[in-house]
Amino acid sequence: MSSPIQLQPDETFILNVGPQHPATHGVLRVKMEMNGEYIVDAETVIGYIHRMHEKMGESKTYPQYLMNLSRMDYLGAVGYSHGHVLVVEKAAGIEVPERAEYIRVLMVELNRVASHLFWFGAFVMDLGGFSPLMYALQDREHILDMMEAVTGSRLTYCYFRYGGLYNDIDDDFIRAARAFLPRMTKSMKKYHKLVTGNVIFQKRLEGIAPLTPEMCRKYGASSAVARGSGINFDVRRNEPYSVYPEFDFDIPVYHECDSLARYNVRMDEIEQSLRIIEQALDKLPDGPIMPKKKPKIIKPPAGDYYQAVETARGSFGVRLVSDGGKTPYRLKLRSPTYSNMHLFDEACRGMLITDALAFMGSLDLVIPEIDR
Partner 1 sequence: MSLTLLNVIVAVVIAIAFAALNAAYLVWAERRGAARIQRRPGPNINGPFGLLQPPLDGIKLMAKQLTIPGGADKVLFIAAPVLAMFPAIMSFVTIPFSESIVAKNMNVGVLMIFAFASMGGMSLLFAGWSSRNKYAMMSSVRAVSQAVAYEIPMLITTITVVMIAGSMDLMEIVRQQGGSFLHWNIFPLLGRSHNILMPMSFLIFFICTLAETNRAPFDLGEAESELVAGFHTEYGSMGFGLFFMGEYANIVIGSCLTTILFLGGWNAPLPFLSFIPGVFWFLLKLYILIATFIWIRWTFPRTTIYGLLNLSWKILIPLSLFNLLLTAGLIKVF
Partner 2 sequence: MIFDKTRQALFALFPAQDLDKPVVEEPSSDETEDAKTKKTAEPRKDGLLECDYSVHGYHLDAQVAPEQLLDAVTIVDNLEYFIESITGVDWIKEDQLEVVYDFSRYDFDVCRVVIRTRLDRNNPIVPTITGIYAGANWHERETHDFFGIKFDGHPHLIPLLLPEDADFHPLLKDFKA
Applying CB under 8 A, does 45 fall inside the site for partner 1?
no
Task: Give the Cα separation of 126 and 25 in Å (integer).
Answer: 10
Q: Which of 38, 119, 173, 219 binds partner 2 (CB under 8 A)?
A: 219
Task: Give the Cα separation of 61 and 196 in Å (integer).
Answer: 47
Encoded one letter per residue, x for contact with partner 1 by CB under 8 A and - for no contact, window 71-110 reads ----------------------------------------
Give 42's strand partners: 32
Contact range with partner 1 by CB under 8 A, out of 88-96, 126-134, 267-275, 279-287: 126-134
Contacts of residue 95, defined as CB under 8 A and 6 or more positions apart, other chains included, come to 89, 163, 291, 293
Task: Name which of 113 and 231 has its Cβ closer to partner 2.
Answer: 231
Applying CB under 8 A, does 217 fall inside the site for partner 2?
yes
DSSP state, 74?
Answer: S
Residue 294 binding partner per list partner 2, partner 1, none, with a CB distance cut-off of 5 to 8 Å that depends on partner kind: none
Applying CB under 8 A, does 65 fall inside the site for partner 2?
no
Applying CB under 8 A, does 239 fall inside the site for partner 2?
yes
Q: Which residues of 286-314 are buried (b: 16+ CB within 10 A; e: fewer)?
A: eeebbeeeeeeebbbeeeebebbbbbbbb
Contact range with partner 2 by CB under 8 A, out of 73-81, 122-130, 192-200, 210-218: 210-218
Task: Name which of 113 and 221 has its Cβ closer to partner 2.
Answer: 221
Helix (H, G, I), strand (E, B) or coil at 341: helix
Contacts of residue 311, defined as CB under 8 A and 6 or more positions apart, other chains included, come to 73, 76, 79, 80, 82, 83, 112, 223, 336
Task: Name which of 206 and 304 has its Cβ closer to partner 1.
Answer: 206
Task: Name which of 289 and 363 has its Cβ closer to partner 2.
Answer: 363
Task: Name which of 129 and 210 has its Cβ closer to partner 1.
Answer: 129
Q: Which of 36, 129, 220, 350 binds partner 2 (CB under 8 A)?
A: 220
Applying CB under 8 A, does 354 fall inside the site for partner 1?
yes
Applying CB under 8 A, does 144 fall inside the site for partner 1?
no
- Give the residue from 166, 162, 165 showing the smallest Cα distance to 299: 162
Alpha helices in 152-252 (DSSP H): 171-191, 199-205, 213-219, 223-227, 235-238
- Give the residue from 155, 123, 130 showing the smallest Cα distance to 140: 155
Q: Which of 4, 18, 47, 182 binds partner 2 (CB under 8 A)?
A: 47
Whether the CB-CB separation of 14 and 31 falls below 8 Å is answered with: yes
Q: Shortest distance, CB of residue 242 to partner 2, whole angstroms? A: 13
Whether the CB-CB separation of 372 and 54 falls below 8 Å is answered with: yes
Task: Give the Cα separation of 187 and 289 in Å (integer).
Answer: 33
Q: Which of 202, 285, 304, 326 binds partner 2 (CB under 8 A)?
A: 304
Applying CB under 8 A, does 307 fall inside the site for partner 2?
yes
Q: Shortest distance, CB of residue 278 to partner 1, whole angstroms? A: 26
Applying CB under 8 A, does 166 fall inside the site for partner 1?
no
Q: Shortest distance, CB of residue 224 to partner 1, whole angstroms? A: 19
Helix (H, G, I), strand (E, B) or coil at 40: strand
Q: Which of 59, 64, 138, 185 binds partner 1 (CB under 8 A)?
A: 138
Dihedral (C-alpha) 338, 343, 345, 350: value to the nearest 10 degrees?
Answer: -160
Tell me how far CA of residue 261 lies from CA of 16, 30, 103, 188, 264, in angstroms. 28, 24, 31, 17, 5
The contact set with partner 2 (CB under 8 A) reads 46-47, 50, 52, 54-55, 58, 87, 90-91, 215-221, 226, 231-233, 237-239, 301-308, 315, 317, 319, 321, 323-324, 329-330, 332, 334, 338-339, 342-343, 346, 371-372
The contact set with partner 1 (CB under 8 A) reads 1-2, 13, 15, 21-23, 37, 124-131, 133-135, 138, 194, 198, 200-201, 203-204, 352-355, 357
